């Protein structure tokens, strides 16, 4: 009897277990887990190929194209100037920048002139007797001789005999000695070779100036140069005479310049080439002024300009075809830090205008508002 009860209980337990297992298996089949793929919304633009100007950005500081560093070639006391010799003072061409005291040296020059005049006077009786044909021109020279003006050139000798006679009397050596002294006398006065402004003044009136001493700096404010460094790979795109748009640091003031020189040597450390831009025509320009330059290298036909961050490996870009991303090859024409000019995409092609994290070829996407903005 006890065995029969045990058998019945075992059968009941087994039946319950089978029922529960069947229920669980049936429930899993009736409620399958669905895996839903996320479809990202993307921003796109439509390709509209056009002629894109390739602009190379660069920057630098203005320097005066015409600059005169003032050095003393003689010794003397600084006596006078056409204006107050101070930084910021303007001088016109031909005005005296500095005048050093040359009274002692001037007396030496006058003495040498007197000696020359006396030498020529002393040979006149011999010229009258031995070389009467040459007497008249030498007499005219004496008549026009003024000790207070620059010594005129000696009359030309017409024959070997005249030349030997004049040379033997020491006329030529005395004349060239006078001209040498006159040349040195001119160094006591420094004049402005062009109209400009004094940017540096290192001496004051009454100062004893010594030979070789720097006195100041004078610049031409009508024309400046901007020296900029351009990457070697862009140097072939630039041409001398090309106009350049310039702006100040805050992009408030704008100027125009012109490429006047391109250095033929590449800087080994930076792999850049120096380009020199001439800037003039504005009173707002100042030496040392920081300017940004936009060098228009050339026009690229059938191209578009896009943010550089959209490129993949600098040679591919994502496009959208039938709501699916595709990675296509393009032709990169020009790169800057933020921009890229590319070609090779047909008009109407939709490309990603904003980067999509985790993007891959074959990824299903949805275009934002189902509209594409034409590329600029």
Q: How many other CB atoms sit within 10 Å of the CB of residue 7?
A: 10
Indicate if the pLDDT at residue 42 is higher than 90: no
Q: How far apart, in whole angstroms, are the C-alpha atoms of residue 104 and residue 212?
A: 20
**340 against 194, higher pLDDT:** 194
Where is pLDDT greater, at 295 or 347? 347
Q: How far apart are CA 358 and CA 219, in angstroms?
A: 59
Domain that holds residue 362: 42-52+300-374
Q: What are phi and psi of 119, to 5 degrees?
A: -65, -45
Q: How far is CA 14 from CA 10, 17, 21, in A?
A: 6, 5, 11
Taking CA atoms, 171 is separated from 107, 121, 248, 356, in Å, by: 20, 10, 64, 94
How many C-beta neighbours within 10 Å does residue 177 have? 15
Q: Are strands 67-71 and 196-201 parallel, antiparallel or unpaired?
A: unpaired
Domain ends where: 298, 327, 345? 298
pLDDT at 18 over 60: no
Q: Does residue 149 surpass a pLDDT of 80?
A: yes
Residues 291 and 171 in one domain: no
The whole-number pLDDT of residue 189 equals 95
On whether residue 37 sits in a domain, the answer given is no
pLDDT score of 62: 94
Three-state secondary structure call for residue 36: coil
Q: Tens of pLDDT along 182-215?
A: 999 999 999 999 999 999 999 999 999 999 999 9
Please state, rounded to an integer, the average pLDDT across all residues of the chain: 86
298: pLDDT strictly greater than 80? no
| Residue 234 within any structural domain of the chain | yes
Q: Are residues 195 and 266 in the same domain?
A: no
Per-residue model confidence as pLDDT tens digits over 124-140: 999 898 888 899 999 99
pTM of the prediction?
0.66
Q: 66-94: per-residue pLDDT in tens?
A: 999 999 999 999 999 999 999 999 999 99
Whole-angstrom distance, CA of residue 13 vs CA of residue 254: 95
CB 351 within 8 A of CB 320: yes
Residue 34: pLDDT over 60: no
Q: How far is 241 from 342, CA to CA, in rounded Å?
A: 27
pLDDT category at 238 given cuts 50, 70, 90 is confident
pLDDT-wise least confident of 67-81, 165-179, 328-342 = 328-342
pLDDT recorded at residue 202: 96
pLDDT band for 281, please (50, 70, 90 cuts): confident
**Domain final residue pick, 298, 314, 335:** 298
Identify the CATH number of the domain in which residue 325 sits: 2.40.420.20
Q: Are residues 200 and 125 in the same domain?
A: yes
pLDDT of residue 230: 86
pLDDT tens digits for range 96-122: 999 999 999 999 999 999 999 999 999
21: in domain: no
CB–CB of 362/324 below 8 Å? yes
176 and 83 within one domain: yes
**Are 198 and 234 members of one domain?**
no
Q: How much is the pLDDT for 373? A: 55
Number of domains, the chain: 3
Model confidence at 146: pLDDT above 70: yes
- Please report, rounded to a whole number, the percentage of residues in the chain having pLDDT higher than 70: 88
Query: Is the pLDDT score of 302 beyond 70?
Result: yes
Residue 22 in domain: no
What is the pLDDT, as a whole number, of residue 337?
74
Residue 183 lies in a domain: yes
Pairing mode, strands 44-46 and 373-374 = parallel
- What integer pLDDT is reported at residue 2 of this predicted model? 53
Rg for the chain (alpha carbons), in Å?
A: 45
Residue pair 55/296 in contact (Cβ under 8 Å)? The answer is yes
pLDDT band at 26; cut points 50, 70, 90: low
- Could you tell me if 130 and 246 lie in one domain? no
Asked which of 188, 219, 250 is the last residue of a domain, the reply is 219
Residue 371 clears pLDDT 80, i.e. is over it: no
Banded model confidence at residue 178, pLDDT cuts 50, 70, 90: very high
pLDDT for 269 beyond 90: no
Lowest mean pLDDT across 89-103, 156-170, 272-286, 333-347: 333-347
- Residue in the structure block whose two tokens are 């930084």: 87
Residue 18 Cα to chain centre, angstroms: 90
Confidence of residue 23 (pLDDT cuts 50, 70, 90): low
Q: What residues have CB less than 8 Å from 79, skipping those under 6 apart? A: 99, 100, 101, 205
Residues 267 and 339 in one domain: no
Residue 9 domain-assigned (yes or no): no
User: pLDDT tier at 290 (50, 70, 90 boundaries)?
Assistant: very high
pLDDT score recorded for residue 27: 56
């Amino acid at each position: 009897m006890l065995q029969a009860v045990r058998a019945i209980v075992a059968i009941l337990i087994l039946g319950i277990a089978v029922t529960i297992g069947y229920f669980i298996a049936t429930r899993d089949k009736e409620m399958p887990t669905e895996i839903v793929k996320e479809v990202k919304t993307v921003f796109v633009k439509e390709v509209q190929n056009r002629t894109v100007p390739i602009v190379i950005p660069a920057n630098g500081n203005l320097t005066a194209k015409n600059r005169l560093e003032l050095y003393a070639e003689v010794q003397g006391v600084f006596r006078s100037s056409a204006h107050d010799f101070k930084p910021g003072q303007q001088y016109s061409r031909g005005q005296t920048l500095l005048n050093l005291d040359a009274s002692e040296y001037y007396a030496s020059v006058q003495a040498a002139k007197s000696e020359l005049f006396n030498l020529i006077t002393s040979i006149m009786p011999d010229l009258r007797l031995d070389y009467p044909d040459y007497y008249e021109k030498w007499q005219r020279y004496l008549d026009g001789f003024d000790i207070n003006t620059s010594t005129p050139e000696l009359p030309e000798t017409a024959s070997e005999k005249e030349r030997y006679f004049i040379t033997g009397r020491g006329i030529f050596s005395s004349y060239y000695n006078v001209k040498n002294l006159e040349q040195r006398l001119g160094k006591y006065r420094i004049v402005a070779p062009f109209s400009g402004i004094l940017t540096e003044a290192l001496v004051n009136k009454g100062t004893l100036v010594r030979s070789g001493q720097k006195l100041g700096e004078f610049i031409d404010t009508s024309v400046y140069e901007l020296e900029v460094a351009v990457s070697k790979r862009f140097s072939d795109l630039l041409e001398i005479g090309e106009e350049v748009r310039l702006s100040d640091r805050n992009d408030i003031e704008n100027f125009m310049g012109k490429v006047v020189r391109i250095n033929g040597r590449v800087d080994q450390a930076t792999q850049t080439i120096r380009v020199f831009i001439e800037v003039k025509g504005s009173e707002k320009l100042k030496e040392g002024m920081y300017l940004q330059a936009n060098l228009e290298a050339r026009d690229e036909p059938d191209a578009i300009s896009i943010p550089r961050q959209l490129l993949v490996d600098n040679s591919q870009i994502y496009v959208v075809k039938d709501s699916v991303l595709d990675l296509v090859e393009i032709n990169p024409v020009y790169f800057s830090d933020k921009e890229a000019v590319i070609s090779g995409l047909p008009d109407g092609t939709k490309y990603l205008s904003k980067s999509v994290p985790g993007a891959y070829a074959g990824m299903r996407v949805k275009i934002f508002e189902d509209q594409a903005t034409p590329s600029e």
